[in-house]
Structure 1
Amino acid sequence: MIAPLRTLALTCAVALALTACKKEEQQAPPPPEVGVIEAKPQTLPLQRELVGRLSPFRSADVRARVPGVLLKRVYQEGSDVKEGQVLFLIDPAPLRAALNASQAELASAQATAANAKAAANRARSLAPQAYVSKSDLDAAEATERTAAAAVQQAQASLASARINLGYAEVRSPISGRAGKQQVTEGALVGQGDVTLLTTVDQLDPLYVNFSMSVDELTQMRAAQAKGALALSGDGKSTVQVKLADGTVYDQPGTLDFSSTTVDPATGAVSLRAVLPNPQQILLPGAFVSFQATLGERNNAYLVPLQALQRDTTGGYVLVVGKDGKVARKNVKSEGQQGSNWLVSGGLDAGDQVIVAGVQKVKEGEPAKAAPWNPAAGNGNGQAPAGAAPAGAAPAAAAKPDAAAAPADAASATSDAAPAAEPNKQ
């Protein structure tokens, strides 16, 4: 009777022990620790990485405006010239002869006008005594007026001849850098058409021509109307060009033109900026990449790159709420600034945005928030390899006991082995 009772008690004890072990196994693990930053609204520059093409500030074609034989090129190709500087010489002999002919025509017209005026004055003095008829007086006065008009016509022809003679010296219309000679000496120029001789480009400043999609430009203007976007402090948008070697050009440019129409072929709007080029490092025709500061974004947030996730619905971040649980927030980003995303919508001031440990948490589950330290470990806010994570001290303390257990078992086995050998025999 006693033996069954002992067996029953032993069975109950074993069952209680197994139940206690299961409860320990079913205990939930501690919430994962994540690195977070506090979302703080800021006024940040709205910047875009764009590509544009350089063009001269002014470009003038130097052409032969009168017919003649090109005698000489006066300037050096590729050199800087001043406005009004002589670049080419055209044979002036035919033009000078035309000027002399115009002068002779003017002298003849002036002599005819003087004779006509004298005849008209004589007729007007005799008319009161009826010594000349009314028709003769009218004819004399008409001849006088015609002679005066002929003088004016001859004067205009003389002025035109002087202008054409001046065109024999082809001058630069603007200051800038003169290009390659297009016509050699001895060629007949200006015969039937206006011959291109060379081109002069003004290289300081330069234009940066680029384009933006109409959707992006419309969104920017809508944000500006709502007060979410404002111009920079001086009221102008600026551009900062990057050179081919990766360095930043030391002269910032200023946006000065925005087209009012959309290119139907590309769906983009043309824009232009003025870029100083005092040392003439940049040359027209080259493509350049630049950072355009198009205004200031109000109530924006900077979020590290690794904190922003994307899926089929768009960009989102995970935050630790006031209840200690992870929540998702869909956000709207306005582009990258350095190692951060500029977020313009979806966040609230004070949100604890998860930066490190995003892969360890799930939406709706608890998480332990700690300030994110970019310098810790590998730069993602996690502890270095081999360091004990927070809350792991008890487990670390239990390791020596676990390690000692095999040693005790081994010693017990070694002690028991000799005693077992006589039995084997």
Structure 2
Amino acid sequence: MNFESGFTHDTDARSYVAEDGVVARSRRRRNLIIGGVIALVVLLAAFFMFRSGKPVDADASAKQVPTVTVVVPGRSTVDAVVTATGNLAARREMPVGVAGEGGMVTQVLVEPGQWVNAGQVLATVDRRVQTQLGNSLAASITVAQADARIAQSNLDRAMQLVSRGFISKADVDSKTAIRDAARARVDVARAQLGQAQATTARLDIRSPAAGLVLTRSVEPGQVVGAASGVLFRVAKGGELELLARLGESDLARMRVGQQASVTPVGSTQSFSGQIWQVSPIIDPQTRQGIARVALPYNTALRPGGFAAARIIGGAADVPQLPESAVQSDTKGNYVYVIGADKKVARRDVKVGDVSDTGVTILGGLNGQEQVVLSAGGFLNPGETVIPTRATVPK
């Protein structure tokens, strides 16, 4: 029994020893394989790192110097153009209403869009009552003239009899006074008739000057009077204007006689005009003023319409940059310039007119700087870059 038990334990021990040897050899093999792979990776990394023959600086490879495109704008003579918007209107709009006592309208003789002459009748008002009054006054003139003739005849006879002593000098003076009074009554009657005729004539609603009829707000059969308001609106001479609204700074640059190009909304056609008046006041609410641009008559220009204007305010010798070079933030407009040390620096600028050719720079640049053309939003002040010069797009 004891012999068998001892044999069994010895056999198990040898089995365990054999298994430990196998595991140890397996671990050594795995460690050798892992070591070989690591060595291979190190060798490959070293090969690529030293392939150029120069050691690679880890910090320099992590931070590459960017290349940026720059322009040197120089200076050029550009037109100082101010853009504005506003409404079209008649330069001299004449409201026409009832000048007399009024009455019922019998005829309206014009339509909007028609040209009229000075004094031309636009509408007529019923005048039957005024006509009868005029006839009555004309008859009173005839009566007064007859009385004046009788008084003159009596005076003539008295003058013949006074020399014979049949009539006293006092009687002659009395008949002279009667004759003069009769003549005065004739003048009064004529004046009354003239007044009536003038009143009747005022029943005709007439244009005060030659021009273009803009609106009509009366129809036959309508009763009109002094309280009826405006019945017609006439643009004197057909002259039009643009009421261009400008900010304070732009308005200060406006002068009478400056040329402007006006384009109505919805149209590609532009019309030439010039400033004929600059508003002397600024609206305290909008902080804007009005520059009035005179325009010739054209059927495409309609009073009340909206239009845009480009006003030429002279020429200036200034740098001009593409829009991509100019940036802005809460501090204002700025550009990035590259100095002699190839470092980026921020430069605040004052922007002028923006046109198809670029942005006019009124201050901050002299035109000889290297200005970053684009991608300025990815740069930081003080950063080192490699500048590549380009020409300014025209």
TM-score, reference length from structure 2: 0.68
Residue 42 (structure 1) aligns with: 76
Instruction: Give 1:81 deviation, angstroms.
Output: 3.8
1:291-310 equivalent positions in 2, closer than 5 A:
291-310=309-328
Residue 248 (structure 2) aligns with: 214
1:14-25 equivalent positions in 2, closer than 5 A:
24-25=57-58
1:266-305 equivalent positions in 2, closer than 5 A:
266-278=286-298, 280-288=299-307, 290-305=308-323
Change (3 A) 1:37 1:292: same
Counterpart among 149, 164, 176 of residue 212 in structure 2: 176
Counterpart among 139, 144, 153 of residue 104 in structure 1: 139
1:129-168 equivalent positions in 2, closer than 5 A:
132=169, 150-168=185-203
Instruction: Give 1:114 deviation, angstroms.
Output: 6.0
Residue 87 (structure 1) aligns with: 122
Q: In structure 1, how many angstroms separate the alpha carbons of the residues matched to 2:382 and 2:162? A: 121
Note if contact 1:183-1:197 (Cα within 8 Å) is conserved in structure 2.
Answer: no
1:177 alignment partner AA: V
1:111-130 equivalent positions in 2, closer than 5 A:
none
Q: In structure 1, how many angstroms separate the alpha carbons of the residues matched to 2:137 and 2:181? A: 18
Q: In structure 2, how many angstroms separate the alpha carbons of the residues matched to 1:145 and 1:260? A: 61
Deviations 1:277-296 (A, max 9, x none): 42x123222223x1331402
1:328-407 equivalent positions in 2, closer than 5 A:
328-338=346-356, 340-359=358-377, 361-372=379-390
Larger radius of gyration: 2
Counterpart among 273, 278, 283 of residue 258 in structure 1: 278
Change (3 A) 1:315 1:119: farther
1:88 alignment partner AA: A
The root-mean-square deviation of aligned C-alpha atoms, in Å, is 4.1
Q: In structure 1, how many angstroms separate the alpha carbons of the residues matched to 2:177 and 2:55? A: 132
Residue 189 (structure 1) aligns with: 224
Instruction: Give 1:207 deviation, angstroms.
Output: 2.1
Residue 404 (structure 1) aligns with: none
Residue 102 (structure 2) aligns with: 67
SS in 1 for 2:303: coil
Note if contact 2:82-2:250 (Cα within 8 Å) is conserved in structure 1.
Answer: no
1:254 alignment partner AA: Q
Structure 2, unmatched stretches of 5+, are: 1-48
Change (3 A) 1:172 1:39: same
Note if contact 1:41-1:299 (Cα within 8 Å) is conserved in structure 2.
Answer: yes
Q: In structure 1, how many angstroms separate the alpha carbons of the residues matched to 2:297 and 2:103? A: 38
User: Are 1:243 and 2:262 matched, yes or no?
Assistant: no
Q: In structure 2, how many angstroms separate the alpha carbons of the residues matched to 1:366 and 1:143? A: 117
Change (3 A) 1:40 1:126: farther
Structure 1, unmatched stretches of 5+, are: 1-16, 222-230, 376-425
Note if contact 1:251-1:277 (Cα within 8 Å) is conserved in structure 2.
Answer: no
Change (3 A) 1:242 1:184: closer
SS in 2 for 1:363: coil
1:326 alignment partner AA: V
SS in 2 for 1:269: strand
Note if contact 1:39-1:347 (Cα within 8 Å) is conserved in structure 2.
Answer: no
SS in 2 for 1:103: helix
Change (3 A) 1:263 1:115: farther
Q: In structure 2, how many angstroms separate the alpha carbons of the residues matched to 1:147 and 1:259? A: 61
Aligned pair count reads 335
TM-score, reference length from structure 1: 0.64
Instruction: Give 1:354 deviation, angstroms.
Output: 1.2
Q: In structure 2, how many angstroms separate the alpha carbons of the residues matched to 1:363 and 1:273? A: 46
Note if contact 1:205-1:275 (Cα within 8 Å) is conserved in structure 2.
Answer: yes
Instruction: Give 1:348 deviation, angstroms.
Output: 0.4
Change (3 A) 1:90 1:31: same
Q: In structure 1, how many angstroms separate the alpha carbons of the residues matched to 2:112 and 2:283? A: 35
Note if contact 2:319-2:366 (Cα within 8 Å) is conserved in structure 1.
Answer: no
Q: In structure 2, how many angstroms separate the alpha carbons of the residues matched to 1:330 and 1:178? A: 51
Change (3 A) 1:205 1:193: closer
Instruction: Give 1:149 deviation, angstroms.
Output: 5.2
Note if contact 1:182-1:196 (Cα within 8 Å) is conserved in structure 2.
Answer: no
Note if contact 1:239-1:273 (Cα within 8 Å) is conserved in structure 2.
Answer: no
Deviations 1:282-324 (A, max 9, x none): 3222223x13314024222221111112233211111223444
Change (3 A) 1:44 1:111: farther
User: Which sits farther off after the overlay, 304-313 or 159-168?
Assistant: 159-168
Q: In structure 2, how many angstroms separate the alpha carbons of the residues matched to 1:366 and 1:242? A: 50
SS in 1 for 2:88: strand
Q: In structure 2, how many angstroms separate the alpha carbons of the residues matched to 1:242 and 1:87? A: 30
Deviations 1:204-230 (A, max 9, x none): 442222322335434x37xxxxxxxxx
Instruction: Give 1:201 deviation, angstroms.
Output: 4.6
Q: In structure 2, how many angstroms separate the alpha carbons of the residues matched to 1:293 and 1:213? A: 13
User: Are 1:312 and 2:330 matched, yes or no?
Assistant: yes
2:212 alignment partner AA: G
Instruction: Give 1:336 deviation, angstroms.
Output: 1.9
